[in-house]
Structure 1
Amino acid sequence: MGVRGAVFLGLTLSILHGVLCGDLEVQYPVSGICALKGSSVFIPCTYVYPNNARVTERKWFKNGNANAYDNVKYIYHSGGISLDTDYTGRVEYIGPDKNCTLKVRDLRSTDIGWYFFRIIIDRSPNAFTRVPGVHLNITDQPLKVTMMSTGSDEIILGDNVTLTCNTQSCSPNQTEFTWFKDGRPTYNTTSNPLSFNNVSYEHFGNYSCASKDNTSVQSPQITLDVKYAPKNTSVSVSPSGEIVEGSSVTLTCSSNANPPVQNYTWFKTNGAAVWEKGSGQSFTITEISSGDSGQYYCEAQNKHGAHNSTAVSVTVAGKLNLALILSVSGTVLFLSIVAVVVVIVVNRRKPGPSGEKTDTGTQGAAEIFFENTAISQTLGGEKGPSVAAPEEDLNYAAIHFQAKTPVGNGSTKPEEDDPSVIYSAVKGQS
Structure 2
Amino acid sequence: MHLLGPWLLLLLEYLAFSDSNKWKVEHPSTFYAWEGACIWIPCRYQIPRGSALLDNLTVYHNYEYNKNISDFNGTILYNSTKTWESPSQQGRVRFLGDQRNNCTLSIHSLLVGDSGQLGLRMMTKDDKWMEAVNLSISKSPFPPQIQLPSELRESQKVTATCLLNFTCFGYDIKLQWSLEGAPFPPAPTIISSSHTIKTVLTQSQLAFEPEWSHHGKNLTCQVWHSAKVLSEGTVQLDVKHPPKGVTTVIQSSTRIREGDSVTLSCRYNSSNPTVTRYEWSPQGLWNEPSHGVLRIRKVAWDTPPISCAACNQWCSSAPPVNLDVQYAPKDVKVLQISPELEIHAGNRVQLQCNFSKSHPKEVHFSWKKNGSLLEEKGRELNFDSISPEDAGNYKCLVNNSIGQSASKAWRLQVLYAPRRLWVSITPGDRVMEGRKAALTCESDANPPVSQYAWFDWNNQDLQYMGQTLRLEPVKVEHSGSYWCKGVNRLGEGKSPPSTLTVYYSPETIGRRTTMGIGLCLAILILAIWGVKLQQNWKRTRSQQGLQENSSGQSFFVRNKKVRRTPLSEGPHSLGCYNPMVEDGISYAALRFPETDTPRAGDAGTSETQGPLPNNEDVVTYSVVQKRVGDYENVTPDFPEDEGIHYSELVQFGAGERPRAQEDVEYVTLKH
Q: TM-score, normalised by structure 1?
A: 0.39
Higher relative contact order (CA 8 A, sep 6+): 1
Q: TM-score, normalised by structure 2?
A: 0.27
Q: Determine which structure has more spread, i.e. the larger CA radius of gyration.
A: 2
